[in-house]
A = this chain, B = another copy of it.
Amino acid sequence: MKSPRNTTAKTVIQDLIVTSNVALSHSEIQKSLEGLCDRVTIYRVLERLIKEGVIHKIVNVDGVVKYAGCHSCSVKHSHNHIHFSCQKCKSVTCLEDVEPTFKMPKKYIISEMNFTLSGLCPQCS
């Protein structure tokens, strides 16, 4: 009976990500925490939050990894929405309403999607 525990690190990190209107990177989270916990702990907390369906991971066009809150992923992650990355202010935003459509060749089995666009966000354009 392995029961998950609510630690301060987990609580704070979860709150940071969920209340943010843009996706956050590991280093950005670390700066905000100001030494509250080790950087390894942050990685492990992020891993746990993903497994719990609370947050999801975004790999940007430039390779930078960010994390954002989920809205309806309690059981299983399903993110077929677009992520927008601003080249000026470096912000990454989930566009939950924008879901691309496309026709795949048969024989391909899809289990995960990642749609990332970059350019200028409304604030920067």
Q: Which A residues are closer than 8 A to B by beta carbons? A: 59-63, 65, 82, 84, 87, 95, 97-105, 107-122, 125
Least CB distance from A100 to B in Å reads 4
With A59-B61, A62-B59, A63-B65 already in contact, the answer to whether A109 and B119 are too (CB < 8 A) is yes
Q: Are A98 and B103 in contact (CB under 8 A)?
A: yes
Least CB distance from A117 to B in Å reads 5
Bound together, the chains give a CA A101 to CA B101 distance in angstroms of 5
Most B-side CB within 10 Å, residue of A63, A100, A108: A108
Q: Are B87 and A108 in contact (CB under 8 A)?
A: no
Q: Are A121 and B99 in contact (CB under 8 A)?
A: no
For the complex with contacts A100-B100, A112-B118, A114-B118, 5 further pairs of A-B residues with Cβ separation under 8 Å are A61-B112, A95-B105, A100-B101, A101-B101, A114-B115
Q: Select from chain B the residue with minimum beta-carbon distance to A98.
A: B102
Q: Select from chain B the residue with minimum beta-carbon distance to A61.
A: B114
Least CB distance from A89 to B in Å reads 13
Q: Which 6 A-B pairs have the closest CB atoms?
A: A100-B100, A100-B102, A107-B122, A109-B120, A111-B119, A110-B119
